[in-house]
Structures are given as structure tokens and as C-alpha cells.
Amino acid sequence: MKMHKSIGLAGLAAVFMTFSAVAATKYTGEGGVELDVPYVPTPQELVDRMLKLANVGPDDIHYDLGSGDGRIVVTAARDMKVKKGVGVDLDPVRIAEANENAKKAGVTDRVTFKQADLFQMNFSEASVMTMYLLPEVNLKLRPKILDEMKPGSRIVTHAFTMGDWQPDKHEVVDSRNIYLFIDPAKVAGAWTWQVGNETYKADLKQQYQMASGTLTLPNGKQVPIESPVLAGPNITFAATVPGAAAPLRFSGKVNGNTIDAAMDVAGKSTKVTAKKSS
């Protein structure tokens, strides 16, 4: 359904409350284009807090999906000195404003605004993403974000979550919600590694950053994986080895189908490389 709508200060939450029952609502932008989300700017104080929540800095490549007048991209380049900023918006009026604002802030050497559909963008180079969109748009973007962004990349949303992907952090600023999500490595599957001629096997399940599973010890005994933490590319867990004085501890960095890790068992720390077999 196509809607012409003027949006007041109540923000996208009010738009969502009004139109949540209407499937695939479209909005007409000032430049006459059909949009998935109407233009509502994020207040500057919240822009600053969103970038702070993601700990944005000079090593980052930042994308803002639906960049409006460019304020988040311009702020990240001017104040956080990101090495590259990219804003994408379908509305040519917003793109013109964003380019003007980048010029005023003196950051045109590091920022680009593209007039494009955000669903057509490739996110693989972005280390930080900001989004002030609608819930169904966030959900539609979620698989693309998880597939294309590197583990450890940060995503900050204003107002809306990512469905059952739980945020790693949540802040409320002036009654508005902002959420931080850290892209988790893909760890689901069977991993094996050797210590000398002893073989360990971990069967891991995963729901976003929540991991669980079973460890098979060299003697064939299976024990539950305890206290698993998946933080971007890093995974740690413990396991109780029957008869051992201290728990086994595994701490590694995932790189595709390999985990380079340290495993502490029976008071000895060993460097291991786990390989994914399924």
C-alpha cells in the first residue's frame, strides 16, 4: 500500500503504531520516489550516543542505511574520524542535503552518499552499520547483515530491534531506544582438534551470539559445554572433565572453518587448531 504521510516529532515509533497492521506500506519521499521507511531524522544527541555505543573510531568503515540528511555519516567522519563513511538513500532530495552537509563539515574526502536502494547494497566492507528503519525492514535486512558483515562488526539500530536476535547492549536516551548488535562468527557444526594424538570434538549449536553444545573427550565421554561466550569472532567455553582438578577451558578466534585457540586442561595450556568438519 502506498501512503503519503507527513511525519511529526513522534518519530518512527508512531508511524509503526499507525501502520503496523498494513503489510508492505510504502511512503512517498520528497523527491517523488517510493520509500520503505519515511524520512524522520535522528536527533543529534542520539546520533552521538549511537556512535558512542558502537565505539566508532578511525579504523572503521561506517554505513548508514537510509541516510537521510547524512547527519550520522557526517558526524562519524567529523567527530569519530572514521576512515570511510557511506550513506545510502533512495530520495534524491536527501542525497543532495547530505552532500551539502558533508561539504559544510569538510568531510567530502571520506564520505560518499549513494542514491540507491539499501537492499541492493553489499555490506561486506562495513565494520559499523547504523539504521533508523522500521521493524520489518530490519528483519528483512537481518540475513544479509549476518551473511555479509564480518564477525565482530557492530550494528546500531534506533527504535527497533532485530526480532529474536537479542541486542548485546540497549540504552534508553530521552525515552528513545538504541540497540547494539555484534555480528557473531558462524560456529554451528562439528569441530575437531588434536592435542598430541588425542582428539577432541565439539558439536556446537548456535542462535545468533548464543552457543551451546557437547564436547567429546579423547576417551569418548561426552560432557556439556559450559559458560559458552561468542563475542564477534571470539569463542570461549569450559567443560567439566571427570576426575580433573580444574575445568577444561577453550578460548579461540574463529576464522571461517578454523578456530585458533588455547586449551587449558589438567593445568597445561596448549595451542590448538580446531577444524570444522560439518
Ligand X SMILES: C[S@@+](CC[C@H](N)C(=O)[O-])C[C@H]1O[C@@H](n2cnc3c(N)ncnc32)[C@H](O)[C@@H]1O
Nearest residue (CB) to ligand X, 117 versus 147: 117
Q: In whole angstroms, what is the distance from residue 165 CA to residue 148 CA?
A: 16
- The cell for 125 is 566492507
Query: In whole angstroms, how close is the CB of 217 to ligand X at the nearest point?
Result: 50
Contact residue for ligand X among 51, 56, 62, 71 (CB under 6 A): 71
The residues pairing with 262 across neighbouring beta strands, listed in sequence order, are: 251, 271
Does residue 72 bind ligand X (CB under 6 A)? yes
Which x/- pattern, by CB under 6 A, does the window 93-132 give for ligand X?
-x----------------------xx-------------x
Does residue 189 bind ligand X (CB under 6 A)? no
Name which of residues 10 to 29 contact ligand X (CB under 6 A): 12, 29
Does residue 41 bind ligand X (CB under 6 A)? yes
Does residue 42 bind ligand X (CB under 6 A)? yes
Which x/- pattern, by CB under 6 A, does the window 163-182 give for ligand X?
--------------------
Q: What would the DSSP string read from start to end of 197-248?
A: TEEEEEEEEEETTEEEEEEE-TTS-EEE-EEEEEETTEEEEEEPPTT-SS-E
Nearest residue (CB) to ligand X, 91 versus 183: 91
Contact residue for ligand X among 25, 53, 60, 67 (CB under 6 A): 67
Does residue 85 bind ligand X (CB under 6 A)? no
Q: In whole angstroms, what is the distance from residue 217 CA to residue 220 CA?
A: 5
Name which of residues 202 to 231 contact ligand X (CB under 6 A): none
Which x/- pattern, by CB under 6 A, does the window 230-269 give for ligand X?
----------------------------------------
Q: How many residues does the chain have?
A: 278
Contact residue for ligand X among 60, 89, 97, 168 (CB under 6 A): 89
Nearest residue (CB) to ligand X, 14 versus 246: 14
Query: In whole angstroms, how close is the CB of 209 to ligand X at the nearest point?
Result: 25
Nearest residue (CB) to ligand X, 76 versus 241: 76
Q: Alpha helix (H) ranges present in the chain?
A: 12-19, 44-53, 71-78, 92-105, 135-148
Q: Are 113 and 89 in contact (CB under 8 A)?
A: yes
Q: In whole angstroms, what is the distance from residue 149 CA to residue 125 CA?
A: 7
Residues 6+ apart with CB under 8 A from 64: 70, 72, 73, 85, 86, 87, 88, 129, 130, 131
Residue nearest to ligand X (CB): 66
First to last CA, the chain: 44
- The cell for 121 is 547494497
Angle between helices 92-105 and 71-78 (to 10 degrees): 20
**Residues at the interface with ligand X (CB under 6 A):** 12, 29, 35-37, 39-42, 64, 66-68, 71-72, 88-91, 94, 117-118, 132
